[in-house]
Amino acid sequence: MAYESVNPYDGKTVKTFPELTDEQLEAKIATASACYETWKKTPYVKRAVIVAKAGELMRQHVDRFAKHATLEMGKLINEARGEVNFSANILSYYAKNGERFLAPVKLNPEHGEAHMESSPIGVIFGVEPWNFPYYQLARVAGPHLMAGNTLMVKHAGCVPQCAIEFEKLWIEAGAPEGLYTNLLISHAQSDKVIDDPRIKGVALTGSVAAGRSISARAGTNLKVSSMELGGSDAFIVLEDADLEKTIPWAVWGRMYNAGQTCCASKRFIVVEEIADKFLAQFKAALEALKPGDPMDERTTHGPLSTESALQDILKQVNAAVKHGAKVVLGGKRIDRPGSFMQTTILTDVKPGNPAFRDEFFGPVAMFFRVKDEAAAIALANDSDFGLGGSVFTRDVERGKRVATEVETGMMFINNIDWSDAELPFGGIKDSGYGRELGNMGIQEFVNKKLVRTH
Ligand code: NDP
């Protein structure tokens, strides 16, 4: 069954959902396309009422949304509540600012007058992952609906109830039929959607493999696309870092969402002078986390999203060890029901070890000891990914200089990678292209039309 709610805390299947037939899919595309014809002419203020209402409803029903996420992908309940509130904030942010971001811009040609309009382009197709089952949806719905597009989303197979809840939200918020459509469809059907002439743009958040396949399909159809893919972000600790503040960030950066975050801190690159101290304190802090029921607010270490996610990361750890890595903490599944992985630290990961270039999507930290700042930057840049990264130092100006040298889409000084409704999010290299959130996020699927008067 492609769409299944399985509780990763105990491995029990809660509910399964059938995929749409091709006929049902066709009817939904037709409805989304018809809706676009009226929605594109709907004034911003009216669009904003619906988008803002959806945000309000999420805030009012935090627990209803949060519990589905915890049940289906094991997110700690407080983190799930945080995600729901943040998603609500993203919707409110675009309801408030969408019109301003897309206002006509006056240009200054040598002769005559000109301006640039931003108009919607049609039905946008989103393919979204399970790791933030609402935030990922809000990140596309807020901007692209405010821009006057309509949206169809294929969510990940393991979070169908979250997907259905989010679609219901729009109906409750007063959206016309076809404004936001959830699609329980296969990969083959997803290809058909991309090929369909009524679909005008494709937004993916997911793995590099999905990015290659979906961006190629969109490219063949000459459709605009944005790709938010994986990452292996560096967490650089310089010798002048304040360890008391840095260690909690290291734990949070690696362990938030059980480590299943594209922009999680994955490679801990520490300058020799303080490396031993950092490693000892980081290890102790990770050991203190308590595995348990993610619905219980006292739990600090939840399960991975699925059994197959756990199996994948165990395989990666074993391959890393086979190629010379040392396990200084964890490395195995936790001996209890559910898909729990021990908090793990790997050292001695050298170039040539597959782990050196891999992304660990779970609670596995790679620790690297380097001579100095220059070596830290060089190692941070020796990655196929380029999503985000952080640098910890008491000297903020030095931190900014390091940030400039690191080849990523985002850098954070004395903080971990984080996302804000107001700030652009996205990467370079294998981490993809395009930006979500902020003013940049709403510009991805609009027609920048030049209008000139002579
Ligand atoms: P996948 O790429 O397998 O899944 C993500 C979504 O893409 C799911 O909806 C999945 O559907 C769909 N999908 C995958 N392949 C295809 C295809 N060929 N055609 C159509 N749909 C497809 O990712 P994972 O589940 O492995 O999720 C984690 C990955 O996503 C990590 O690598 C992570 O770094 C990345 N990610 C990036 C983020 C970012 O913002 N840059 C944020 C979160 C995650 P289905 O479930 O049905 O297979």
Q: Is 156 in the pocket of ligand 1 (CB under 6 A)?
A: yes
Atom of ligand 1 nearest to the CA of 158: 46
Q: Does 205 sit in the ligand 1 pocket, CB within 6 Å?
A: yes
CA of 388 to the centre of ligand 1 (A): 18
Q: How far is CA 46 from CA 52, 91, 145, 248, in A?
A: 10, 14, 11, 44
Q: Which of 228, 359, 436, 444 is catalytic?
A: 228
Which residue, by CA, sits nearest to atom 32 of ligand 1?
Answer: 207
User: Active-site residue among 35, 158, 162, 262?
Assistant: 262
What's the 206 CA to ligand 1 centre distance in angstroms? Answer: 3
Nearest ligand 1 atom to the CA of 432 is 41
What's the complex ipTM?
0.94
Q: How far is CA 93 from CA 89, 175, 180, 422, 439, in A?
A: 6, 18, 18, 8, 10
- Within 8 A by CB and 6+ apart from 140, the residues are 124, 126, 128, 151, 153, 203, 436
Q: Hey, which residues does 436 pair with through a beta bridge?
A: 425
Identify whether the C-beta of residue 164 lies closer than 8 Å to the C-beta of residue 182: yes
Contact 324, 348 (CB under 8 A): yes
Closest CA to 182 of 119, 143, 214, 134: 134
Q: Are strands 412-413 and 428-429 parallel, antiparallel or unpaired?
A: unpaired
Single pTM value for the model? 0.97
Atom of ligand 1 nearest to the CA of 2: 47
What is the rounded radius of gyration, in angstroms, for the C-alpha atoms of the chain? 22
Q: How far is the CA of 202 from the centre of ligand 1 (A)?
A: 14
Q: Which of 23, 86, 35 is nearest to 418 (CA)?
A: 86
Residue 155 CA to ligand 1 centre (angstroms): 9
d(CA 413, CA 416): 8
19 has catalytic annotation:
no
In whole angstroms, give the CA distance from residue 395 to residue 272.
18
228 is known as an active-site residue? yes
Over its length of 454 residues, how does the chain's per-residue pLDDT go in tens digits?
689 999 999 999 999 999 999 999 999 999 999 999 999 999 999 999 999 999 999 999 999 999 999 999 999 999 999 999 999 999 999 999 999 999 999 999 999 999 999 999 999 999 999 999 999 999 999 999 999 999 999 999 999 999 999 999 999 999 999 999 999 999 999 999 999 999 999 999 999 999 999 999 999 999 999 999 999 999 999 999 999 999 999 999 999 999 999 999 999 999 999 999 999 999 999 999 999 999 999 999 999 999 999 999 999 999 999 999 999 999 999 999 999 999 999 999 999 999 999 999 999 999 999 999 999 999 999 999 999 999 999 999 999 999 999 999 999 999 999 899 999 999 999 999 999 999 999 999 999 999 999 8
**Which of 127, 195, 233, 425 is the best mutation target for the ligand 1 pocket, counting ligand atoms within 8 Å of the beta carbon and taking the most?**
127
Cα 229 off chain centre by: 8
Does residue 213 have its Cβ closer than 6 Å to ligand 1?
yes
Return the bridge partners of 392, or none: 237
